Amino acid sequence: MSLVLSPLRRREMLAALGLLGLGGAVGPERLLAAARGDAAAAADVLTAAEQAQVAAMAEGIIPATDTPGAIGAGVPAFVAMMVRDWLLPDEQVAFRRGLGEWQAEAQARYGKAFEDCRAQDQFALLTLWDKAASGAPLGGPKPPFAMFKALTIIGYYTSPTGQEQELGATMDAGLDDPKGPATFINLLQF
């Protein structure tokens, strides 16, 4: 589990180095085309119940506002795909253990599955887990919630909805053309 936040921190720094045209080792990667559509087949790792829980948790982290939230941006399918194809086997185990523990906590506190809890109860749970996760010591193993949150945020802000509707990002921005933070997207190579 420690793999998520530390590479991401490293990536942010190294992506900046990439700007220099010098550093930029970002991690093991290989081009795979035909990316769209894969997520639909991801049900083989997460169960239907787990996916419902993932969707509710992701939407709680990035809710619909004047723009769509995580569900509207397809984040649940993205998270399921990443669990299947990107996490290492021991990380998959830890991720699913996390899902089980959160579900148990929702049951204990509210007598319901997380996805069936009221919005304010979901928010309370997510806030609790977020604080616990962000309070974890630097450099040590990251709790599963840190990975969950990271996958949700990445999935949202790199989705067509996140890029185009939320951030207004374009690939053809010109210099000295203030468009707001959306156009930063490419700066860090996301």
Partner 1 sequence: MTDQIYDAIVVGSGVTGGLAAKELTERGLSVLMIERGRDQKHGDYPTEHMPVSDFKFRLMGDRRNDSHDQAAGKNEGSARYFAPRSDHPFTVAEGTRFSWIRAATLGGKSLTWGRQSYRMAPINFEENGADGHGVDWPLRYADLAPWYDHVEQIVGISGEAERNPLAPDGIFQPPMPMNAYEREFKARVGKAFPDRTVSMARTANLTRELGDRQPCHYCGPCERGCSAGAYFSTQSSTLPAAQRTGRLTVMTDSLVARVLTDDDGRRATGVEIIDTRTRQKKVAHARMVFLCASTLESVRLLMLSRNQAHPDGLGNRHDVLGRYIMDHQFSEPVMAMLPANGIANYGGYRPCALFMPRYVNASGQKEAYLRGFQLNAVITPTNWSRALVMPGMGIGADLKKQLKATGPWMLLLIAQCETLPRWDNRVTLDPTVKDPWGLPVLHMNVTWGDNDTLMREKAAESLADMLTRAGYQGAMRLPMESVPGAVIHEMGGAVMGNDPKTSVLDKHNRLHDIPNLFVTDGASMPSSAHVNPSLTFMALTARAAAFAADIIRGGGFGSGPFKAGAL
CB of 126 to partner 1, least distance (A): 5
Inter-CA distances, 150 with 47, 128, 172, 177, Å: 21, 16, 27, 30
Q: Count of alpha carbons within 13 Å of 112, Cβ hemisphere only?
A: 12
Looking only at residues 3 through 22 of this chain, which bind partner 1 when binding is defined by CB under 8 A?
5, 8-9, 11-13, 16-22
Residue of the chain from 54, 55, 99, 126 that contacts partner 1 (CB under 8 A)? 126
Residue closer to partner 1, measured from CB, 19 or 49? 19
CA pair distance 150, 143, nearest whole angstrom:
11
DSSP conformation letters of 111-174: SS-GGGS-HHHHHHHHHHHHHHHHTSPTTSPPPHHHHHHHHHHHHHHTSHIIIIIIS---SSPP
Residue 103 within binding range of partner 1, rule CB under 8 A: no
Q: Whose Cβ is closer to partner 1: residue 100's or residue 181's? A: 181
- 144-183 positions binding partner 1, by CB under 8 A: 149-150, 153-155, 157-160, 162-163, 166-167, 169, 171-181, 183
Which C-beta is closer to partner 1: that of 118 or that of 184? 184
Residues 72-91 that bind partner 1 (CB under 8 A): 78, 81-82, 85-86, 88
